[in-house]
C-alpha cells in the first residue's frame, strides 16, 4: 500500500510504502513501513538463487585488485547501478536484501551476511537507458569504505570499452574492459556478466 503524506512539521512529502501481513486469525496488521523509493519490488515477486549473482571479474583500483566475485544490478528509473563485490553471494546475502526491501526475514537468516560489514571496496558501473529502453555504459568507478574514511570516483568510458551490452526481459548482459589513469591512481576493469536486474522504487 502506498501513501503520500503531508507533514505538518516538515516539507517532506516522500511517498511511503506500508507492508500489511495477515495473522493466524485472518486479520490484517501493519508489519512494516518504509520509503517507497527504497523498495526492491522485484524481490517481492521473484525468488533468486545465490549462484545467479556469483560471477567473478577483475577490477583493479590504484594497483590493488579487489577480485570481485559477485555482482548486483539495481534499476531505478532510467539508470542501472551495477556493483561488483569481493565475495561470493550466499543465501544470507539474498535474505539481507529481502529484509532491506521490507520483506519479513528471520534475524538468524541474515546473521552471516557479508553486508553486515560495511568496511569494503566495490567497483561500480552505471548503465543509462534512453527513451527506447536501450542501454549504454555511462560511468565506471569505485566506492571505498575504510573505518571512518570513505572515497569514491567515477570515470566515463569510451564506446570502444564495451563489447556487449543488452537488456532483455530484466536481464542485463554486459562485457566491458578498459583502463583509466595509472597503476597508482586509476582503475582497470574486465568483466563479462549476465545478471537479473532488480527494480527499485514503487
Q: What is the DSSP secondary-structure string of 118-159?
A: ---EEEEEEEEE-TT--EEEEEEEEEEEETTEEEEEEE---G
| Mean residue pLDDT across the chain | 87
Instruction: Give the global pTM.
Output: 0.84
Distances (CA, A) of 10 to 13, 17, 35, 145: 8, 19, 16, 32
If you count DSSP H runs as helices and E runs as strands, how many of each does the chain have, helices first?
3, 13
CA 12 to chain centre: 25
pLDDT digits (tens, 9 = 90+) for 11-36: 555 555 566 555 667 666 555 655 66
Indicate the domain borders of the chain. Answer: 1-38, 39-199
Residue 8 has pLDDT above 60, yes or no: no
User: pLDDT tens for residues 118-128?
Assistant: 788 999 999 99
Q: Which of 129, 128, 95 is nearest to 114 (CA)?
A: 95
Amino acid at each position: 500500500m502506498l501513501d503520500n503524506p503531508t507533514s505538518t512539521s516538515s516539507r517532506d512529502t516522500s511517498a511511503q510504502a506500508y507492508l500489511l501481513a495477515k495473522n493466524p486469525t485472518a486479520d490484517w496488521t501493519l508489519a512494516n513501513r518504509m520509503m517507497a523509493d527504497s523498495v526492491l519490488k522485484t524481490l517481492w515477486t521473484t525468488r533468486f538463487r545465490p549462484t545467479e549473482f556469483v560471477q567473478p571479474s577483475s577490477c583493479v583500483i590504484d594497483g590493488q585488485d579487489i577480485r570481485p566475485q559477485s555482482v548486483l544490478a539495481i534499476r531505478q528509473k532510467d539508470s542501472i547501478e551495477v556493483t561488483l563485490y569481493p565475495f561470493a553471494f550466499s543465501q544470507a546475502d539474498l535474505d539481507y536484501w529481502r529484509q532491506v526491501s521490507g520483506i519479513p526475514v528471520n534475524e538468524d537468516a541474515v546473521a552471516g551476511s557479508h553486508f553486515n560489514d560495511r568496511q569494503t571496496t566495490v567497483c561500480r558501473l552505471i548503465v543509462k537507458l534512453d527513451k527506447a529502453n536501450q542501454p549504454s555504459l555511462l560511468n565506471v568507478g569505485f566506492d571505498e569504505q575504510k573505518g571512518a574514511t570513505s572515497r569514491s570516483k567515477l570515470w566515463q568510458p569510451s564506446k570502444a570499452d564495451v563489447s556487449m551490452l543488452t537488456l532483455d526481459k530484466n536481464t542485463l548482459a554486459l562485457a566491458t574492459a578498459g583502463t583509466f589513469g595509472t597503476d597508482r591512481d586509476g582503475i582497470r576493469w574486465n568483466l563479462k556478466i549476465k545478471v537479473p536486474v532488480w527494480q527499485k522504487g514503487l
